[in-house]
Structure 1
Amino acid sequence: MSHTRGVALIAIARGLPPATRIGIDIEHSDRGVGADRLAAKFLTSRERATIEPLDAAARRHRFLHHWTCKEAMSKATGDGLAAPFGRLDIDIDGGPRLVAGPPPYDPPAWTLHAVETPEGYLATLAIWNGETGLRTDATSESV
């Protein structure tokens, strides 16, 4: 479950293998965050390189997109804010995907989906296939 500014998302999994866990996160795209300061702490050097040339509003938006991916993953594992955010490398171009991360954040075990939201919001659904390592595809109806 995730909520912000009067919008809530709840993710429910049906028919998935027992080791599969899910997490979801939503943020308002104009949330006042210190994107540069937070990027230094929570993004990988590759991720930071993709946002540094952008203007302030675009940096904040891109940071929040990375953040929803990482936060959704941390909810799936149960790590919460103790997750190794700065070591989770997310590629958000062409659809979010985990590029690299320490166990249990092994890329083959993860599927990330950008969730359709009301205008002005960003959200990500993370599906962790735990022990199985299988890929799971979500449809637009299930996301």
Structure 2
Amino acid sequence: MIRAAFVDVWIGSLALDRPALAGCYGMLSAEERAKAESFKLNRVRDRYAASRFYLRQTLADYLGCSAHGLRFTLGPYGKPSLACGSLFFNISHTGEMLSIAVTDVSEVGIDIEAVKPRANLTCLAQRCFSPAEYAHWQALPAAEHSASFYRLWTKKEAYVKAIGRGIGFGLENCEFDPAEHGQITALPPGCGDRDAWRIVELDVGVDHYAALAVANADFKLSIKSLPAPDGGLTA
């Protein structure tokens, strides 16, 4: 019997008080601390430190090891992974909201976006959607443009992050059914079978959209809340 894969999605806030942030900085590697210090804005620096803390602590609790001792490697296009290869993950944040996907599937991507007014929404859609996606989007009532844009955008981001390519791959190169819960309809040559992917729209609260891309049609999905920095993981 083939065992179904698991995918856990952890959601939490990066808005931490100073004592908690001090603990986050103490968990970072020398390289991570240097990167944190490279950010000019305090809030950006603190959010980076908190996100790395949460990632380390979350993965360490699965593996039963030291969070500080975890080592990461980068793929050919910069996608991070655990050096030990025991688990796979992807991370995304928007403002103060963080999402971490943890799985035993080797290809996973997650994206979370806060809905905000964009004067250039039409230009973004035209540049990042395929011709068919853009035509469908343009035909929608104006009141539906924002929701439809973010639903499709997060799916595309989740997929290109899963394959380790990021936005540089070209979001317009992967095409989706633009309807709610729509799946991949076309991929460029060399990207494999579109039916090998499952795309999940995640409910992450008001004014946010999120999506998960997993290269496995059979997995158990759980949504969990990240604890305070001084606590253990909770389901």
Of the three residues 136, 139, 143, the one matched with 2:218 is: 136
Pairing partner for 1:43 from 108, 114, 129: 129
2:201 paired residue among 114, 120, 123: 114
Partner of 1:5 in structure 2? 95
Deviations 1:61-100 (A, max 9, x none): 2112111011111111110122231121111424131000
Match of residue 100, structure 1, among 177, 186, 204: 186
User: In the aligned structure 1, how far is the partner of 2:152 from the partner of 2:209?
Assistant: 10
Matches for 1:54-93 after TM superposition, within 5 Å: 54-93=140-179
CA-based RMSD: 2.0
Following superposition, the deviation at residue 53 of structure 1 comes to 2.3
Structure 2: distance between partners of 1:25 and 1:10: 9
CA separation in 1, counterparts of 2:122 and 2:96?
26
Whole-angstrom distance in 2 between the partners of 1:33 and 1:65: 18
Matches of 2:100 and 2:119 in 1, distance apart?
24
Deviates more, 1:51-60 or 1:109-118: 51-60
Following the alignment from structure 2 to structure 1, what is the Cα–Cα distance between the partners of residues 118 and 180?
Answer: 26
Partner in structure 2 of residue 132 of structure 1: none
Structure 1 residues 118 and 27, CA gap change in structure 2 (3 angstroms) = same
- Cα 1:64–1:39, aligned 2, differ >3 Å: closer, same or farther? same
> Secondary structure, in 3 states, of the residue corresponding to 1:65?
helix
Q: Which secondary structure does the structure 1 equivalent of 2:102 belong to?
A: coil
Percent of aligned positions with the same letter in both sequences?
28
- What's the TM-score once normalised by structure 1's chain length? 0.81
Amino acid at match of 1:7: M
After superposition, the Cα gap between the structure-2 partners of 1:91 and 1:33, relative to the gap in structure 1 and judged at 3 Å, is farther
Match of 1:28 in 2: 114
Q: In structure 1, what residue type is equivalent to 2:197?
A: W
Question: How many residues are paired up?
Answer: 133
CA-to-partner distance for each residue in 1:109-142, whole Å, 9 max, x for gaps?
211000110111000000025xxxxx23443x25
Give the gaps of 5 or more residues in structure 2.
1-90, 225-235
